[in-house]
Structure 1
Amino acid sequence: MIEARELSKTYGRVRAVDGVSFTASAGRVTGFLGLNGSGKTTTLRMLLGLVTPTSGQALVDGRRYRDLRHPARQVGAVLEQGIGHPGQTGRAHLVTQAVFSGAGRSRVDALLDHVGLGHAADQRVGGYSLGMRQRLAVATALLGDPSILVLDEPANGLDPEGIAWLRGLLRDHARAGGTVLISSHLLAEVAQLVDDVVIIAEGRVVRATSLVDLTRGSEARVRVRGGNPGRLWHVLTDAGARITTDGPALEVAGLSPEQVGELAFRAQVPIYELTVRTPDLEQVFLTLATAR
Structure 2
Amino acid sequence: MIEARELSKTYGSVRAVDRVSFTAAAGRVTGFLGLNGSGKTTTLRILLGLVTPTSGQALVDGRRYRDLRHPVRRVGAVLEQGIGHPGQTGRAHLVTQAVFSGAGRSRVDALLEQVGLGHAADQRIGGYSLGMRQRLAVATALLGDPPVLVLDEPANGLDPEGIAWLRGLLRDHARSGGTVLISSHLLAELAQLVDDVVIIARGRLVRATSLAELTRDAEARVRVRSRDPRRLWHALTQAGGRITTDGTALEVAGLSPEEVGELAFRAQVPVHELTVRTPDLEQIFLTLAATR
TM value normalised by structure 2:
0.99
User: Which position in structure 1 is the counterpart of 2:167?
Assistant: 167
User: Which position in structure 1 is the counterpart of 2:122?
Assistant: 122
User: Which position in structure 2 is the counterpart of 1:268?
Assistant: 268
User: Which position in structure 1 is the counterpart of 2:245?
Assistant: 245
- Range moving further from structure 2, 269-278 or 114-123: 269-278
Q: Secondary structure at the match of 2:83?
A: coil
CA distance in 2 between counterparts of 1:46 and 1:247 reads: 48
Query: Retained in 2: the 8 A contact 1:112–1:121?
Result: yes
CA distance in 2 between counterparts of 1:250 and 1:173 reads: 44
CA distance in 2 between counterparts of 1:246 and 1:106 reads: 59
Query: Which segments of structure 1 move beyond 6 Å, counting only runs of 4 or more?
Result: none
Q: Secondary structure at the match of 1:5?
A: strand
Unaligned runs of 5+ in 1: none
Q: Secondary structure at the match of 1:76?
A: strand
CA distance in 2 between counterparts of 1:52 and 1:246 reads: 48
Deviation at 1:82, TM superposition (A): 3.0
CA distance in 1 between counterparts of 2:95 and 2:149 reads: 20
User: Which position in structure 1 is the counterpart of 2:74?
Assistant: 74
How many residues end up aligned between the 2 structures?
Answer: 292
User: Which position in structure 2 is the counterpart of 1:44?
Assistant: 44
Q: Secondary structure at the match of 2:181?
A: strand
Could you give the per-residue CA deviations for residues 97-136 of structure 1, whole angstroms, max 9, x where no partner exists? 1111110110000000000000000000000000000000
- Range moving further from structure 2, 132-141 or 241-250: 241-250
Q: Tell me which amino acid in the other structure corresponds to 2:173.
A: H
- The 5 Å alignment of 1:251-290 reads 251-290=251-290
Query: Retained in 2: the 8 A contact 1:81–1:130?
Result: no
Q: What RMSD, in angstroms, separates the aligned Cα atoms of the two structures?
A: 0.7
Q: Secondary structure at the match of 2:192?
A: helix
CA distance in 1 between counterparts of 2:151 and 2:82 reads: 14
User: Which position in structure 1 is the counterpart of 2:190?
Assistant: 190
Q: Secondary structure at the match of 1:92?
A: helix
Q: Secondary structure at the match of 1:193?
A: coil
Unaligned runs of 5+ in 2: none
Deviation at 1:273, TM superposition (A): 0.6
CA distance in 2 between counterparts of 1:272 and 1:202 reads: 43
Identity of aligned residues (%): 89
- The 5 Å alignment of 1:1-292 reads 1-292=1-292
Could you give the per-residue CA deviations for residues 12-58 of structure 1, whole angstroms, max 9, x where no partner exists? 00000000000001000000001111000000000010000000001
Q: Tell me which amino acid in the other structure corresponds to 2:59.
A: L
CA distance in 2 between counterparts of 1:36 and 1:270 reads: 46
CA distance in 1 between counterparts of 2:82 and 2:191 reads: 26
CA distance in 2 between counterparts of 1:90 and 1:229 reads: 62
